Amino acid sequence: MHTRNVLMWLITSWLFLCIFSPPVFARDPQNCLFCHKYKRLRAYDEKGELHNLYVDTHLFNQSIHRNVSCIGCHSDVEQIPHSKTEKVDCAKACHLDKWKAFTGENFSHREVAENLQQSIHGVKPDDPPEIAELKPDCKYCHLNDLYTLPEEVPSEKVLARCLNCHKEKGLQETFIHISHRYKHKTSRSPLEIVELCASCHADEDFLNAVGFTGPKKEAVETYKETIHYRILQLGGNDTAECINCHATQSIHDIRPPSDPQSSIHPDNRYKTCQAEGCHPGAAANISAVDSHLSRHKDKGPEIKIVELIMEGVMFCTLFMLFTLMGMETYGRLRNRDARFFRWLRVPQFLKKRNPVDRNILGSIPNLHRYVNFTPKGDYQRYSIHIVINHMLIGISFTVAVVTGLPLFFHNSELSYQVINLMGGIDVTRLIHRVNAIVFTLDCSYHLLVLLLGTIKKLLNGTFDIRRTQFPLWKDLKDLYFDFRYFLGLEKTRPKMEKFMYKQKLHYLAMVWGCSVLTLSGCCLLFPEFMVNYLPFPKISFNILRLMHAEESVLAFLVITLWHLYNVHTAPGRFPIQWTFWNGKIARDHQIEEHFLEYERQVKEGVAECEEDRLIKEGHTNER
């Protein structure tokens, strides 16, 4: 009875293992795994290096070579146990009978090996030993873990159609293997391709050993500054990685740009740009574009010069604006021009009693301190068209910042979070492009409003250049005397026009920024078109492409740190001005910073004369 129980237990255990053990289909007709299945199977070579000879059957079963027997690659093994084996030659024919159904002969990597040999990665007869050792062999790029990724499985409906003609066994497995190659050059993801190439081309020791200098040495670094890499890094896949540009249709055929057969030779580069639907309309001119944005002197000094200029402009602009902000804030608080919280401000009372000046307008210095005002605005300043312009530009600018700056700060964790929150990089790019159209249309709308408004004023005889955003000599004088007032060297601020020097400066910056962003954005979106019409495309295109990001950052800083401060958060303006909503300006603000416009409106009967009101209420002029 005891023997019977033991037998039943063994049978049950065997059935359990058969049912629940993972299947192993590794092809091993020569029973090589009899020895190589042991994890501790190791051996020393002549140099004393220890080699692991263990074969993981599970990984091998998932690899691309799962249907190849061991001697299909290790063809020098003729007996078991065997002596030292030769290095595997991937160019040998594989003993894979099923492939004969398609080609009529055994499968071979010989053509691939020949392409590799002719490429820049192939070991040449005149290569020094130290250089030959550094060049990659097949296994450097093609490891089994590459093929553990799940392959796309065709639907049963697709396979059923294939089986109408193809009756061979193993069709599904064959289809799975080859189908994804019609969509991609390689099984690796684009970002993995970049990291694989960078494992050599970004390694300092490797670069020094092979003697790479200049642009060759900076290849990975400069590629990672392009829009191509930034899109890949943030999750996109429909943009160029290393192989897309540097390899021909045979992905192993990578040649130096001086080789006429190279895909990046100047005569062939535009064809490479056209390939795989990247830039289908690319012409020969696109070869002038430096796709790596190298700052090295061998590629031309324009990139480095523009970067230095933009850094200087950014520093000087922010320094000047922050200096002006600080002095104005100090002066307004010291001179009691306003309380910080605007709605708590109470107009001051005139105490001195002197004879009243017969010229009422302008007879009370610092008049803005004594007038009543409505926080939401008293006088109409902008038309409904300008209000709409401002709202559209505000919305489109905000969307552009949210969708564009993550690409500039592509190494930031916050950028990943913002991109993912918007649905991924592909959705973000679509939003950015649609928003660019809205931005451009709004700029066109604004130009139309200005043009028609100017024509109307010219016909009515009311056009006055002093009431426009055009910079005049008076603006420099106003800036000088405003500085003196903030420093306590003047008793009153200068009398300024409808648009004072700060608004003109900001408006001109907006005109410059919108022009640069629109033109450079077209270069990024339609490069194959723009290179045909830009003068000196090699220089101008690279400069504009670089300036799109630099100008965006500068615009973001100026808008958020200076414009919003002056309009909404400065003392006497906080917490908000409603001009952007209703087009109206408060009475005290008009008198303080746009006195000449206030004076003009009083004479036209549009605004009330505040000096006259104060006198009627029993106040006299303060001198």
| Residue among 99, 102, 21, 23 nearest 65 (CA) | 99
Task: Indicate the residue among 448, 463, 478 that finishes a domain.
Answer: 463
Better-scored residue on pLDDT, 55 or 152: 55
**Residues of the domain holding 34:** 1-77
pLDDT tens column, 446-495? 999 999 999 999 999 999 999 999 999 999 999 999 999 988 899 999 99
Is residue 557 situated within a structural domain? no
Confidence of residue 93 (pLDDT cuts 50, 70, 90): low
Judged against a pLDDT cut of 60, whether residue 26 lies above it is answered with no
> CA 121 to CA 255: how far, in whole Å?
8
Is residue 426 situated within a structural domain? yes
pLDDT tens column, 198-243? 999 999 999 998 888 888 888 999 898 888 999 999 988 888 899 8
- What pLDDT, on the 0 to 100 scale, is given for residue 615? 79
> CA 49 to CA 159: how far, in whole Å?
49
Q: Percentage of the chain surpassing pLDDT 90? A: 32
What does the block give as tokens for 272? 């490479």
**Size of the chain, expressed as the number of residues it contains:** 623
Please, what is the angle between helix 384-408 and helix 425-460, to 10°? 150
Arithmetic mean of pLDDT over the chain: 83
For residue 602, the SS3 value is: helix
Task: Indicate the residue among 404, 430, 463 that finishes a domain.
Answer: 463
pLDDT tens column, 248-274? 878 888 998 889 999 888 889 888 888
| Residue among 403, 406, 405 nearest 428 (CA) | 403
Judged against a pLDDT cut of 60, whether residue 181 lies above it is answered with no
How many domains does one find in the chain? 2
- What pLDDT, on the 0 to 100 scale, is given for residue 297? 63
Judged against a pLDDT cut of 60, whether residue 388 lies above it is answered with yes
| Residue among 559, 517, 551, 513 nearest 306 (CA) | 551
* C-alpha count within 13 angstroms, C-beta hemisphere, residue 79: 2
Is residue 14 situated within a structural domain? yes
- What pLDDT, on the 0 to 100 scale, is given for residue 578? 93
Is residue 622 situated within a structural domain? no
Task: Indicate the residue among 54, 77, 100 that finishes a domain.
Answer: 77
- What pLDDT, on the 0 to 100 scale, is given for residue 620? 52
| Residue among 280, 249, 281 nearest 263 (CA) | 249
Is residue 584 situated within a structural domain? no
Confidence of residue 499 (pLDDT cuts 50, 70, 90): very high
Is residue 111 situated within a structural domain? no
- What pLDDT, on the 0 to 100 scale, is given for residue 414? 92
- What pLDDT, on the 0 to 100 scale, is given for residue 142? 77
First to last CA, the chain: 125
DSSP assignment letter at 563: I
Is residue 390 situated within a structural domain? yes
* C-alpha count within 13 angstroms, C-beta hemisphere, residue 568: 11
Cβ neighbors of 293 (< 8 A, separation 6 or more) are 222, 225, 226, 303, 542, 545, 546
- What pLDDT, on the 0 to 100 scale, is given for residue 390? 94
> CA 524 to CA 74: how far, in whole Å?
51
Residue recorded with tokens 């009875």: 1
Better-scored residue on pLDDT, 379 or 81: 379
Confidence of residue 148 (pLDDT cuts 50, 70, 90): very low
Is residue 36 situated within a structural domain? yes
> CA 548 to CA 551: how far, in whole Å?
5
- pTM assigned to the model: 0.80
Q: Of the spans 73-87, 137-151, 154-168, 588-602, which averages the highest pLDDT?
A: 588-602
